[in-house]
Amino acid sequence: MSRRARFLEALGITAEWVPRARDDAPQAEAVSEAVAFVEPVVEPVVEPAVEHIAEVIAEPVTVAAPAAAPVVEAAPAIETAIPVVPVDLVEAPVSRARPEPSLVPAGPEPDSAQAEREAAIAAMAWPALDAAVAGCTACGLCQTRTNTVFGVGDRQAEWMLVGEAPGENEDLQGEPFVGQAGKLLDNMLGALGLARGRNVFIANVLKCRPPGNRNPQPAEVAQCEPFLRRQIALVRPRVIVVLGRFAAQSLLRTTTPIGKLRGTVHTYEGIPVVVTYHPAYLLRTLTDKARAWEDLCLAREVHDRAGAGA
Ligand code: URA
C-alpha cells in the first residue's frame, strides 16, 4: 500500500475513492473528466507547486494535522447602513415567484429598521426564514430573479457548504449548485462519503442571482447575510466548507486572497470554517483539484475532531 493510501486510510477516507483510469468506476463513467472528482493525478509534467502539493498529500505525518491548524476567528459583524424598505419578514408570501415591481425598495431605511430586520431574522424558525427569503425585496436582485434559492439539504447536518450566489440554472430551478459546477460538487461530496441532502446542507451567500452572473455587490451581501447567519445558527454544523474566494471573503469579512485563507481553520460564530476553491473554478483549473482534495481532508479532520469532542 502506498504512503498516500495509508494516509487516506488513516483519515478514514477509503469509500468512493476512485482512481481516474479504472474501468469499473461508475462515477467516472457517469461524468466528464472535468466534472469527476477523483484522486487528483499529478502528471509527469506539472507546475512545481502542484508537484509539491502532491508530495505533501503523500506525507502521512505532516499534512493538515488538525492540532496544528491555526484557528482564526472571523472579524466582528460590519455595521451596515444599507438603503432598503422594511419587509414584513414573518408574513412574507411563500411563493418563489418574482415579486410585483411595486414591492421593489424605493428609498433609504434608517439603521434602526435594519437592526430590527436583522433581529427579526435572527429569531426565525425554518418556516418563517424560508418565507422571508422567498418574499425578500431588500435589494434590487428581487427585480431580476426567477426564483430565490434558499438552500437545500439536511437541516440537522454536520456539514454545511456555502457558495457564492445562484447562477442561471439555480435561478431557474430554485436549488443551489445544479449546473456543471454542481455535478463536480456532488462528486466532491461523494469523495468525502457524503451526498447532497444527506448530512449536508448547501447554501449560498446570496439567495438571488446577480444578473449576468456579475459579482455580488456589498449592499446585496449585507442584506442577504442575516439569512445565511440564521441558517448556520439553525443547522449548527460541525464544520462549514466555504467554496470560493467570494464566499470566503464575505463570510470571514476579509480581503485576504483565497490562497492564503486555505489550509487554516477559521471560525464563524464559533463554528470551524475551512476554505476551498469554488467548483466552477476547479472545472477550469484541473490542477488545483489536488489542493481542493487537501482542503477536504482538512475539513474532514475538523469535522471528526468536533465530533470527538461533542
Ligand atoms: N455557484 C455558486 O456559488 N452557487 C450556486 O448555487 C451555483 C453556482
Q: Find out whether 94 and 134 touch, Cβ atoms under 8 Å.
A: yes
Beta-strand runs (E) in the chain: 71-73, 152-153, 159-163, 200-204, 239-243, 265-268, 271-276
Could you tell me how many residues make up the chain?
310
pLDDT one-digit tens code per residue, 207-244: 999 999 999 999 999 999 999 999 999 999 999 999 99
How many A from CA of 310 to the centre of ligand 1?
Answer: 31
Report which protein residue has its CA nearest ligand 1's atom 6.
176
Q: Is the CB of 170 under 6 A from ligand 1?
A: yes
How far is the C-alpha of 145 from the C-alpha of 133, rounded, in Å?
12
How many A from CA of 182 to the centre of ligand 1?
Answer: 8
How many A from CA of 163 to the centre of ligand 1?
Answer: 5
Confidence of residue 47 (pLDDT cuts 50, 70, 90): very low
Q: Is the CB of 279 under 6 A from ligand 1?
A: no
pLDDT at 69: 54
> Cα-flanking dihedrals φ and ψ of residue 50, to 5°?
-70, -40
Beta-strand runs (E) in 164-225: 200-204
Say if residue 197's pLDDT is above 70: yes
pLDDT at 53: 32
239: nearest Cα among 292, 291, 162, 165:
162
Strand arrangement, sheet containing 200-204: 71-73, 265-268, 271-276, 239-243, 159-163, 200-204, 152-153
201: nearest Cα among 244, 239, 167:
239
Tell me which of 271 and 213 has the higher pLDDT: 271
pLDDT at 5: 47
pLDDT at 30: 34
Q: Find out whether 224 and 148 touch, Cβ atoms under 8 Å.
A: no
**Which ligand 1 atom is at minimum distance from the Cα of 164?**
3
Site to substitute for ligand 1 among 152, 200, 204, most atoms within 8 A of C-beta: 204
pLDDT at 281: 97
How far is the C-alpha of 17 from the C-alpha of 57, rounded, in Å?
15
CB proximity list for 105: less than 8 A, separation 6 or greater: 83, 84, 85, 137, 138, 139, 140
pLDDT at 51: 30
How many A from CA of 4 to the centre of ligand 1?
Answer: 31
pLDDT at 110: 66
How far is the C-alpha of 122 from the C-alpha of 132, rounded, in Å?
12
Helix (H, G, I), strand (E, B) or coil at 148: coil
Average pLDDT, rounded, for the chain: 76
